[in-house]
Amino acid sequence: MVTASAPGKFILFGEHAVVYGKPAIAIAVDRRIEVSIRRSDRPMIDGKHHGGGRSYVNSAVKRLWNNGPLNIRTHSNLPPASGLGSSAALSVATVAALLQMRVRFSRKSVALNAFLTEYEVQGRASPTDTSTSTNGGAVMVGPEGDNVLWTIEKEANNGKMNRWYVSSLELPSDLDFVVGVTGVRSSTASMVDKVKKFVDGSGAGMQIINEIEAIALEGVEALKFGDKSRLGELMNENQSHLFSLGVSHPKLEKLIDAARKHSYGAKLTGAGGGGSMVALTDEPETVMRDIELMGGRPIHVRIDREGVRIEDREG
């Protein structure tokens, strides 16, 4: 049996703009999904027989394994459909365990195959979530820069070759974040389509995308120097632009307003339309209380600097 685990993530800056080739910054969090795989006499996932289908686990198995049926078990302490990268963590942990069984494990291979797994299931994807879950810490997906970890390419449906550079970023050791889960589920695809219609139909839309890009690039420097005040200001500015793009939600706004009273800054994280928000704070317990009072589910998260790991191998 091989067991692998991978962390979730939140996007600090750049969601939606990354779809237009702009940089995005994401941070891995200390909440994980664990996947255990062993050989079996019939294919099983979490105690149930499966015959294939379109899922992250099935897609990864189809891509990487042709040596008989497998019994796969998953365990998660990441809330689904909340902007914390649960699908990416599941893809990364599954791919890592399969590659370890084939003695082909490497972080670069995990990142590539987990991205392709997500792309196949979703029909579109950027490598932001899967690369963050694979590497841990903070990563930037965007233009080529310093500390490039790997480059990922994928031909789009229109024949255009997309290329992403994934770089590691410096992180101070004293950053505390609180995530507030709204409980409102949203579709990433529908939010991306909503922004596309706005950008295509208005010159103001692309101007907002460009302003989000500038915020992400300044965020790299603020992270490098551990400037929490500036990071908070940039988070608030980013949220204002995301609101203008139409991807916020009344419950997100309530949680963000509540969290800002005792935070450097707060914003939605992920596609929006529900899901989660994130706040940078030195008073996590107070912010968690304020989020809970507004009907949200607070989660105190710390940075996971390790990324994907093989937990054990036996038998």
Residues with active-site annotation:
129
Sign of the dihedral through C-alpha 124, 129, 132, 133: negative
| Adjacency order of strands within the sheet including 265-269 | 265-269, 276-280, 177-181, 297-301
Residue 18 makes CB contacts below 8 A (sequence gap 6+) with 24, 126, 128, 141, 142
- Give the number of other CB atoms < 10 A from CB of residue 230: 17
Q: ∠ CA 266-224-13 to the nearest 5 degrees?
A: 35
Within 8 A by CB and 6+ apart from 114, the residues are: 60, 88, 91, 92, 94, 95, 130, 133, 134
The length of the chain is 315
Question: Are the beta carbons of 195 and 19 closer than 8 angstroms?
Answer: yes
Task: For residue 132, give the nearest of 269, 284, 308 by alpha carbon.
Answer: 308
Which tokens sit at 296? Answer: 């949200």
